[in-house]
Amino acid sequence: MESLTLELSAVAASLVVEEGLEYGPAKRRAVKQMGLPARTALPGNAEVEDAVIDYIAIFCADTQPGELLALRRLALLWMERMADFRPYLSGSVWHGTATRLSDIYIQLFCDDCKSAEIALIDHKVNYVPRTITGFNGDSVEALSVHAFCPGLNEEVGVHLLIYDRDDVRGALRFDAKGRSPRGDMAAVQRLLHD
């Protein structure tokens, strides 16, 4: 059973890196691709992330660091634009496993949940509102934009997830690997300097 989990994780990791899929869809596609029953137990996100790290080290070691740097610079730019809403970077761009196909996820903690949307409208930014699953398992509103990334010379998806200001307390708990699951602007600036 453990070897199947490792194999599923490896296939899912290749889909994450090569096609830009999120972990959930990548795991489900890996099951289909391997011809396994639909009810096959899926690996956890931690196993897939470990496999992504291994995949990048083997197949993308020469390109991924530059791509990650470009994405982090763009993320910081958007965090600065949305500074009034206490932005935190999360996901693969924060954790260092992003490639050019990865999207940027920024969590905003707002006094008024509509204020971030109004800020985008005021700055004439085109966005698509959607509902996605947030860090605590509840549905949250997300504002998705396409932003040009100079370092990659292409557009990248930037997703602004809208949370209530009080949700920031639960957002700062460490994840299963003992890491901070998100970082504020100062933390992202430190990553860029390191």
Q: What is the pLDDT of residue 1?
A: 63
Together in a domain, 69 and 105? yes
- The rounded distance, in Å, linking the Cα atoms of 88 and 85 is 9
Q: What is the pLDDT of residue 137?
A: 79
Q: What is the pLDDT of residue 171?
A: 66
End-to-end CA, the chain: 40
Q: What is the pLDDT of residue 174?
A: 76
Q: What is the pLDDT of residue 135?
A: 80
Together in a domain, 49 and 142? no
Q: Rounded to two decimals, what is the model's pTM?
A: 0.92
Together in a domain, 93 and 169? yes
Together in a domain, 73 and 158? yes
Together in a domain, 112 and 159? yes
Together in a domain, 89 and 173? yes
Together in a domain, 187 and 124? yes
Domain extent for 90: 64-193
- Residue 69: pLDDT over 80: yes
Contact in structure between 158 and 152 (CB atoms under 8 Å): no
Q: How far is CA 57 from the centre of its chain?
A: 19
What digits encode the pLDDT tens for the residues 72-91?
999 999 999 999 999 999 99
- Residue 170: pLDDT over 70: no
Element (H, E) at 128: strand 128-133
Together in a domain, 139 and 160? yes
Contacts for 143 with CB less than 8 Å, ≥ 6 apart: 116, 117, 120, 127, 128, 129, 159, 160, 162
Residue indicated by tokens 């699951």: 181
- Of 42, 59, 76, the last residue of a domain is 59
Torsion of CA 113, 118, 121, 123, to 10 degrees: -110
